[in-house]
Amino acid sequence: MNWKTLEFDQLSARELYVVLRARSAVFVVEQSHVCLDPDGRDEQALHVFAVEDMARPMPVLAYARVQPGDSEDPEVTIDKVLTSPLRRGDGTAEMLIERVLEAAVERWPGRATRVSAPLDLRGFYEQFGFRKTEGPYLEHGVPFIGLTRQLRGAAARFGSRRRERGDASFVDTFELL
């Protein structure tokens, strides 16, 4: 598994294509989110992902987009989080979130991080120090909650509150990627 953390301008045409294909496969096809996935926010974001064998049509194993926030809302936002159905439940999702949090702390130190997630993934995000801040609310017909992770010095390191993988919730779906 090859992990990458790249800004938009650093993505090769092939990398951008496989990322957008993976996002479409999971969000549009698998989860039936009818939306325009390339939403105009990719160019300002950091893209964290794992690939394996770029010659395959679907090489993306995990992906998340990290947005820096702005002067009005300085929180770092994590969205478009996905794991290939082939890698769900094997620790890949945890590795993804660890890498995302490392990148966020490195690039935007001192900022809180937030994520909007399906309600049944609350425990997964709580193992990384996220706490529920809003919701539940419906998004694409599914109950979602907003979670925020505040930084509190050295204790806020990404892995300091991590539980064992057996305590996390994983969703097993059909093999798409």
pLDDT tens-digit map of 84-136: 999 999 999 999 999 999 999 999 999 999 999 999 999 999 999 999 999 99
- The percent of residues above 90 in pLDDT, for the chain, comes to 70
Cα angle value 66/160/8 (rounded, 5°) = 15
CA 150 to CA 128: how far, in whole Å?
11
Q: Could you tell me the pLDDT band of residue 140, with boundaries at 50, 70 and 90?
A: confident
How many C-beta atoms surround the C-beta of residue 17 within 10 A? Answer: 11
Q: What's the pLDDT band for 36 if we cut at 50, 70, 90?
A: confident
Q: What is the pTM of this model?
A: 0.84
Q: What is the per-residue pLDDT for 168? A: 41
Under DSSP, the state recorded for 167 is: G
User: CA 5, CA 98: separation in Å to the nearest integer?
Assistant: 12
Judge whether residue 164 has pLDDT over 50.
Answer: no
Domain ranges of the chain: 2-167
CA distance 133 to 130: 9
d(CA 159, CA 22): 27
CATH code of the domain made up of 2-167: 3.40.630.30
**Count of Cβ atoms closer than 10 Å to residue 175 Cβ:** 8
Over residues 24-46, the mean pLDDT reads: 91
